[in-house]
């Protein structure tokens, strides 16, 4: 450690992708099926699988809003500002968002020992490609080669960048994860959704994915299920695929985004439990990142009722199975005591979402949220838990 005062292991850090993150390793002839950059109305946009994406207003990230720009908004918006007002103070992109050596220096200043590093655009784009599993594989294979180039999967034991894996093709997923493991990956990223394969959508716990889960189980690598674009709809109440930060947005869409934000992860984790994936692969460790935690109490209650209705179905109490195999990184503004009460302090992870606008202005700001916790609990969730999950645990 270059800074002996470093205290935090941040399980939710991000980079802002380079302009060629998706295209550096893609055959240009495949652009219309995968990702290409266009200019519309004077603004750079991405077309993904032939669809114009507006989910990110500026995919160049230059300029970009400051870290934690929406801190006041997520504190209840006491000043009554609009989203546009919160996001108006943009700045030129900082080198630490794209340069790992600069990032390490910034981490020292932030007193951050290590981070899990996740995509910004990468977690938003798979849904556009869900009807073309082959294109999804080509896109994210190219993306992961760029990630390995620019960041690496394990830089100095401190920046652990997560390759992105799609389950659209299970054979592809096995090959890609095998490659990433050979390159030193300690954690990898999935999105919380039922994957769309050539045979249609399947639960992530469907036996068709068992070859992939068998590899994860054998390698002992942690699965980080990170929030992103999942394709969940507004069911006709508002237009879909509008960013919550769009210039023109209906109040209904904003409300639905807030109310339904935890639906994808609840469904994903419930499927993993109910499809008995953890019974087949007892060495799996799953970390839910940037998905919230407000659903946990209701889900545990439903699982308990299901156990009573289906005696003998589960080899292990499903709630206990959840608590044994799944770690939760709650939103920074959520009640940490409630989360600890549900899953235990040894299964909670700290994540700042830095440098995103909805994250904390600085990772160390989270100390204000956990100041009332006993020291042993603080030690676990501020670093010890993530350190443990960062070590491969081969079966």
pLDDT tens digits for range 179-200: 999 999 999 999 999 999 999 9
Q: Which CATH superfamily is domain 8-390 in?
A: Metal-dependent hydrolases (3.20.20.140)
Output the DSSP codes for 31-60: TTTSEEEEEETTEEEEEETTEEE-SSS-TT
pLDDT by residue (tens digit) across 227-285? 999 988 777 777 776 554 554 556 676 677 777 899 999 999 999 999 999 999 999 99
Domain ranges of the chain: 8-390
Residue 123 CB-density burial (10 A; 0-12 exposed, 13-18 middle, 19+ buried) = buried
- What pLDDT is recorded for position 195? 96
pLDDT by residue (tens digit) across 4-45? 344 799 999 999 999 999 999 999 999 999 999 999 999 999
As a whole number of angstroms, the distance between CA 232 and CA 210 comes to 25
Q: Give residue 1's pLDDT band: very low, low, confident or very high (50, 70, 90).
A: very low
Q: Give residue 320's pLDDT band: very low, low, confident or very high (50, 70, 90).
A: very high
Which residue stretches of the chain are H helix? Answer: 71-74, 83-87, 100-110, 122-125, 133-150, 170-182, 210-219, 251-260, 263-274, 277-280, 296-309, 318-325, 336-343, 375-379, 385-390
Contacts of 193 (CB under 8 A, 6+ apart): 127, 230, 231, 232, 264, 268
With 0.85 as the threshold, say if the pTM is over it: yes
């Amino acid at each position: 450690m270059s800074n002996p005062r470093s205290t935090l292991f941040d399980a939710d850090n991000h980079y802002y992708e380079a302009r060629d993150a998706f295209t550096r390793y893609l055959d240009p002839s495949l652009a219309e099926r995968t990702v290409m950059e266009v200019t519309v109305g004077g603004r750079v946009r991405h077309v993904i699988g032939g669809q114009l994406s507006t989910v990110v207003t500026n995919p160049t990230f230059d300029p970009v809003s400051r870290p934690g720009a929406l801190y006041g908004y997520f504190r209840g918006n006491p000043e009554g500002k609009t989203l546009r007002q919160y996001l108006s103070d943009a700045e030129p992109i900082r080198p630490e968002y794209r340069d790992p050596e600069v990032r390490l220096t910034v981490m020292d200043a932030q007193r951050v020992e290590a981070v899990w590093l996740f995509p910004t655009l990468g977690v938003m784009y798979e849904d556009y490609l869900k009807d073309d599993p082959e294109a999804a594989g080509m896109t994210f294979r190219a993306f992961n080669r760029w990630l390995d180039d620019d960041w690496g999967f394990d830089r100095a034991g401190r920046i652990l960048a997560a390759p992105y894996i799609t389950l659209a093709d299970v054979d592809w997923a096995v090959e890609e994860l095998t490659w990433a493991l050979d390159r030193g990956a300690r954690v990898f990223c999935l999105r919380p959704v039922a994957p769309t394969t050539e045979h249609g959508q399947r639960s992530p716990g469907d036996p068709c994915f068992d070859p992939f889960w068998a590899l994860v189980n054998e390698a002992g690598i942690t699965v980080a299920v990170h929030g992103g674009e999942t394709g969940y709809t507004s069911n006709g109440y508002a237009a879909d695929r509008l960013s919550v930060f769009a210039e023109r947005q209906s109040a209904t869409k904003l409300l639905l985004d807030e109310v339904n934000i935890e639906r994808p992860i609840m469904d994903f984790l419930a499927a993993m439990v109910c499809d008995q994936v953890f019974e087949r692969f007892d060495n799996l460790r799953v970390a839910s990142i940037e998905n919230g935690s407000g659903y946990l109490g209701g889900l545990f209650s439903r699982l308990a009722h299901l156990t009573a209705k289906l005696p003998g179905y589960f080899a292990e109490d499903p709630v206990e199975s959840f608590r044994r195999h799944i770690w939760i990184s709650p939103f920074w503004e959520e009640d940490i005591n409630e989360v600890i009460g549900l899953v235990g302090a040894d299964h909670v992870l700290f994540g700042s979402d830095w440098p995103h606008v909805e994250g904390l202005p600085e990772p160390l700001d989270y100390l204000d949220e956990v100041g009332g916790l006993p020291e042993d609990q603080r030690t676990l969730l501020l670093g010890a838990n993530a350190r443990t999950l960062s070590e491969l645990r081969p079966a």
